[in-house]
Structure 1
């Protein structure tokens, strides 16, 4: 399989296109003057998802057959806020990794996905990702089919692309992947997230004022942090922040990720054209990752799943702990 076949555009890529179209249409309706285009890339790149993103959920077989109608799930036994607070308690118990700005956050994951439109077969690949801890170098990654232990691709640089010109790569480094200097108090962290939103790389014509000024933007930024490494106390504060997000709900029923771990899913609000769920271990409530789905003709179909296997700090791209 070649890179074109294996590298998905990513569930979040499609949602971002939907969001861009939505806010562009809103801009035409309300005629809000668009401020200068943002180029700061704090707390994680929204568009660096796809095959090298972080997510979690069902096994390949379950993905291939599971389709559910919206609203058919039985009521959950715990609220989203309760699950997030249990996840915060679990985060505080985790060992802390430290990193210098010149080091890299190494992440290994299993990704099961299907190309858009979501009608083709599912594919599963193993990813290894090296993100600059200090945001001073490009992210690099490689992958292989899960069925081929010796089928690793060449290590390659991953750049953010321009939504206005998909063939154009933005000439900028990735955001820091190590979030070691952020507030550990939930109130202070929430204020920080409001003041330092993640860059969504919106297309020209999008109503940036409406998007970045929306009260839910802080929660979007918080979720983007989960793509890198967040130390235990800050991670606990982040989950406490997410516990406050209105509209988050627990999806009833067991969720099994690509690594066979049983989890509980929290569905986050504000996604256009589909759903994005955060996944936590059903027993320990340790954060596992995310899953994405699309909605068509009133039916919800799982689109992608990535099980995060391990995270470490290393000195250079290509180094495996």
Structure 2
């Protein structure tokens, strides 16, 4: 089996509902002895609206402060485009993993999620995902509180929500998680992504022509590729392509992620009602993960953050590298 540590990997949007419910169930058990009026009300199924469904960004307790804080180093002087191009150089140095269509992309990450988008405490969860390399099976996942090494829950099947009825799930498999067919030239990749946009599962009656015909859709699809495994040369082309996207800016200050790694944050354009930041290692420029925030009444509140820990190719859900 193949394995690589601290590689770029995100996790699918539908994970948010399941993970939020998992956190809520544990909190309800922990608060059972308290008066009902003091129990925390958890938001179930909340999603940050955006051109690209914001990948779940989650960690907890003391780690939440570390995840969200600014570090002690001076801010980066590089532009967003320069950092993305350095990330492309870093991607080329990574070992390449191979996967067959019946295998799975395994990802482990630390995730911090706030119980409400703009208020309340943060909770850290360790997440393990098994995504179908060929898109021939549903994603499966399990979770545990970062404070409880023996607290793993059962393996759960994740399905995509029906946008017209959040209580129902679509009988469709997710996109393949192994993107071995992506071009390694940025211009060729641009053409490929224009011809193969990600399926956004739009609500009935949505203007598909306007959504899929918009130039930003190419970048939306490009970002979605980070929710699976992209081989090194194609990943480099993807970051070089994102470096062309107008509107990305570097957030001032040194960010420390949930795994204690120092990074720099690039704020990506096109998110409605909040912000999405990509985090890169400050020294190596390896992609570390993402964080998300909401904006209400002109005030920005950090909602979630994810630290990517390890990635591998395995043969079945539940198998560890």
TM range (shorter): 0.7 to 0.9
Q: Which residue of 2 aligns with 1:248?
A: 248
TM-score, scaled to structure 2: 0.81
Structure 1 residues 65 and 314, CA gap change in structure 2 (3 angstroms): closer
Q: Deviation at 1:118?
A: 2.5
Structure 2 residues without counterparts, runs of 5 or longer: 1-19, 26-41
- For residues 93 and 63 of structure 1, the distance between their equivalents in structure 2, rounded to whole angstroms, comes to 27
Structure 1 residues 103 and 258, CA gap change in structure 2 (3 angstroms): same
Q: Which residue of 2 aligns with 1:163?
A: 163
Q: Which residue of 1 aligns with 2:192?
A: 192
- For residues 233 and 177 of structure 2, the distance between their equivalents in structure 1, rounded to whole angstroms, comes to 16
- For residues 315 and 100 of structure 1, the distance between their equivalents in structure 2, rounded to whole angstroms, comes to 9
Q: Which residue of 1 aligns with 2:48?
A: 14
**Pick from 60, 63, 70: which aligns with 2:64?**
60
Q: Deviation at 1:196?
A: 1.0
Structure 1 residues 237 and 269, CA gap change in structure 2 (3 angstroms): same
- For residues 226 and 315 of structure 2, the distance between their equivalents in structure 1, rounded to whole angstroms, comes to 21
Q: Deviation at 1:254?
A: 0.5
RMSD: 2.5
Q: Deviations over 1:201-239 (max 9, x none)?
A: 222232222211111111111111001100000000000
- For residues 207 and 116 of structure 1, the distance between their equivalents in structure 2, rounded to whole angstroms, comes to 31
Structure 1 residues without counterparts, runs of 5 or longer: 20-45, 67-73
Q: Deviation at 1:4?
A: 5.9
Q: Which residue of 1 aligns with 2:202?
A: 202
Q: Deviations over 1:139-177 (max 9, x none)?
A: 100000111111111001100011111111110111100
Structure 1 residues 100 and 64, CA gap change in structure 2 (3 angstroms): closer
Q: Deviations over 1:12-70 (max 9, x none)?
A: x3214xx6xxxxxxxxxxxxxxxxxxxxxxxxxx66944xx689xx941246778xxxx
The answer to whether the Cα contact below 8 Å between 2:114 and 2:122 also exists between their aligned partners in 1 is: yes
- Segments of 4+ moved more than 3 angstroms: 6-11, 46-50, 62-66
Number of residue pairs matched by the alignment? 281
- For residues 284 and 81 of structure 1, the distance between their equivalents in structure 2, rounded to whole angstroms, comes to 16
Q: Which residue of 2 aligns with 1:179?
A: 179
- For residues 310 and 93 of structure 1, the distance between their equivalents in structure 2, rounded to whole angstroms, comes to 16
What SS class does the counterpart of residue 305 from structure 1 fall into? strand
Q: Deviation at 1:9?
A: 5.7
> Is residue 121 from structure 1 mapped to residue 121 from structure 2 by the alignment?
yes
- For residues 54 and 312 of structure 1, the distance between their equivalents in structure 2, rounded to whole angstroms, comes to 21
> Is residue 220 from structure 1 mapped to residue 220 from structure 2 by the alignment?
yes
The answer to whether the Cα contact below 8 Å between 1:87 and 1:236 also exists between their aligned partners in 2 is: yes
What SS class does the counterpart of residue 197 from structure 1 fall into? coil
> Is residue 97 from structure 1 mapped to residue 97 from structure 2 by the alignment?
yes
- For residues 64 and 230 of structure 1, the distance between their equivalents in structure 2, rounded to whole angstroms, comes to 27
Q: Deviations over 1:112-161 (max 9, x none)?
A: 01134431211110000000001111110000011111111100110001
Question: In the TM superposition, what are the counterparts of 1:25-64 in structure 2 within 5 Å?
Answer: 49-50=55-56, 59-62=63-66
Structure 1 residues 10 and 227, CA gap change in structure 2 (3 angstroms): farther
Structure 1 residues 95 and 8, CA gap change in structure 2 (3 angstroms): farther
Of 113-122 and 87-96, the range deviating more from structure 2: 113-122
- For residues 8 and 182 of structure 1, the distance between their equivalents in structure 2, rounded to whole angstroms, comes to 37
